Every structure is written in C-alpha cells, then in structure tokens.
Structure 1
Amino acid sequence: MKKLSVLFAVVVMVVSVSMAKAQKLATVDLMGVLNAMPEKKKADTDIKTFLDAKQAEIKKKADAGQAKLKQYTEEAPKKTADENKARETELQKLQEEIAQMQDKAQKDLQAKQDVAFGPIEKKLNDAIEKVAKANGYEFIMDANSAALVYKSGADATAAVKKELGIN
C-alpha cells in the first residue's frame, strides 16, 4: 500500500512538471510600462493640476472660515445671545459647505481618473494581449505582484514597450 502511495505521488509530480513545462509563461513589469507611457505621464500631470486647484479652493474656504471663527470668538462677549447663536449657525453652515466641497472634489477626482486612465489601461491591455499572441505566451504575470512566488518565464516588458512605441 505504501509503495502504491509513493508511486501515485511520483506520477502526480511528473504530470505536474510536464504540464508546467508545456505552458509558456512570461512576466511584465506593469508599473514600469505604465510609468513609461507618455499618456500616463500626461494624465498624472493633469490630475495633479486638477487636485491642486481643488485643494487650493477648499483651503481658501477653510481659511476664510477660520478667520470668521477667530473674529466671532473675539467678539462673542460683546454680542447678544441671538447674534452669537446666528453666528454659530453661520459657522456650522460654512463647515458643511467645506465638507460638501471635499466630497464633491473627491468624486470629481475619481471621475477624472476614470476618464483619464480608462483608455491608457485599454491600450496597455491590448498591447499585452497582442504580445502574448505573437509570442505564444499562455500566461503573462505582473512581475511586481506579491502573489508571484517563482518567476522563470520570459520577461515581456521590452516587447510590450516596443509594441507601445516607448523605450
């Protein structure tokens, strides 16, 4: 019985190794390729500019709110309870406006990223698919993936960059 188990284990190992050898594997440095693409560089610059503008707008509103808060705090002892209550309501409304601006900016940023990076991702995926078919690769894995434990397949990074016309 023990010999049968050992024989079965050896057969499974031989079949597994021969199946693995039959598959043509390659890796690609996705981040390296993406960062080399001019479209990605332009999209990154556009998004940073957009984000900086939104942050400046929110900061301006927040600074104005801080100035008002300081002014109202200093003047509070000299004002009536009704005036202070109205000022408190105004400050709460201003805080809500700032929070809404931040939420809207986050949503706008996500939408801008989706629009900017969608075509880039499609172009990269199309290039990877074309390289895989041209070179007979059955699998192309991201060389930077944490799930990748062993890598001995060919590296398709140069071929994908060539397909995209980048160095």
Structure 2
Amino acid sequence: MKKISILFAAVVMFMSFGVAKAQKIATVDVDAILNIMPEKIKADEQLKAFSTAKQAELEKAATAFQTEVQKYQEGAAKLTPQQREAKEAELGKTSQQLQQMQQAAQKDLAEKSDAAYAPIDKRINDAITRAAKANGYDFIFDSATRGLIYKAGPDATPAVKKELGL
C-alpha cells in the first residue's frame, strides 16, 4: 500500500511539471493603436462626412414636414371634415416616410461602418497574431477590457505597432 502511495505521489508530481509550464501572457492597448492608424482616421472622417450629409437630408425633410403641419394647423378650421381627414392621412403618410428615411439612414451608416472597419480589424488582428508568434506569447489580452483583472506581464503594444509599421 505504501508503494502505491509513493508511486501515485511521483506520478502526480511528474504530471504537475507539465501543467506548470510558464505561459507568456501580454497585454495590448488596441484602442491606442487604432487611434493612430491612418486608415482608421480616414475611415472615421469618411463616416463622419456621410453621417453629416444624411443628417442634413433628414433635417431638411423634417423641416418641410413641420412647415406642412403648421400650415395645416393654421387652416384646419376652414377645411371640411373630409378635407381635414384627407390632409391628416397625408401627414401621417409623410410622417411614416420620415421614419423610414431615418431607419434607412441608420442602416446605411451601419453598413458603411462595417465595410470601412472590417479590413482595419483584420489588419490589427493579423498584426497581433504575428507579434504574438514573434515574441512567443501564449495569450494577449486587450488592456482596455474590463475582463482583465491583473496586468503585470509584458505589453505587446510596441510589437504590434512595429508589425503595422506605425
């Protein structure tokens, strides 16, 4: 029985050496890298211009609608009930069209944003992978996320910047 206990203890010690292999862990500040990438800065500017143009278009349509509503409210007393009903139906239809325009603008902006940022995300993820392999890191955490509790390991941000040529 004593020999089995000793053998068991030896096997456990042997197995624990394999498990206790030190893993290299690093952090990277993805936001800091993204904020200096020229292609992200350009994409941000293009998306801002697109958003501003869509907003101006929506504001123009909303102003025209408000003017139409105001004209209706001022002249509603002079209209027959059938005319009032027809005008209210027309205004309701215009209101729905405005809502549809706003939803379409939000969808267009989201699609344009996804299309603009997808290659940037791929480029930074590829650079992180290359930096991890080049420096022998087993894990790299984004230092800006809340999931990271303790940060004492090496910072991979400079290595990723080097891979991106920044």
TM over 0.5: yes
Number of residue pairs aligned between Structure 1 and Structure 2: 153
Match of 1:92 in 2: 92
In structure 2, the gaps of 5 or more residues are 1-11
1:71-106 CA-to-partner distances (Å, cap 9, x unmatched) read 100000011111111110111011011110011111
Match of 2:126 in 1: 126
1:81-134 CA-to-partner distances (Å, cap 9, x unmatched) read 111111101110110111100111111111101110010000000000000000
Tell me which structure has the larger Cα radius of gyration: 2
Q: Matched residues in 1 for 2:50 and 2:82: separation?
A: 41
Letter in 1 for 2:134: A
Match of 2:150 in 1: 150
Letter in 2 for 1:55: Q
Q: Matched residues in 2 for 1:137 and 1:153: separation?
A: 10
1:129-165 CA-to-partner distances (Å, cap 9, x unmatched) read 0000000000000011101001111001111112111
Match of 2:62 in 1: 62
1:23-49 CA-to-partner distances (Å, cap 9, x unmatched) read 001000011111111110010111111
Match of 1:110 in 2: 110
Q: Matched residues in 1 for 2:95 and 2:124: separation?
A: 43
Shift of the alpha carbon at 1:52?
0.8
Pairwise CA RMSD: 1.8
Match of 1:7 in 2: none
Letter in 2 for 1:159: A
Q: Percent identity, aligned pairs only?
A: 53
Match of 2:7 in 1: none
Q: Matched residues in 2 for 1:127 and 1:145: separation?
A: 19
In structure 1, the gaps of 5 or more residues are 1-10
Q: Matched residues in 2 for 1:90 and 1:165: separation?
A: 58
Q: Matched residues in 2 for 1:162 and 1:136: separation?
A: 16
Q: Matched residues in 1 for 2:120 and 2:162: separation?
A: 16
Query: Which consecutive aligned stretches of 4+ in structure 1 deviate over 2 angstroms post-superposition?
Result: none
Superposition TM-score, scaled by structure 2 size = 0.87
Match of 2:40 in 1: 40
Superposition TM-score, scaled by structure 1 size = 0.87
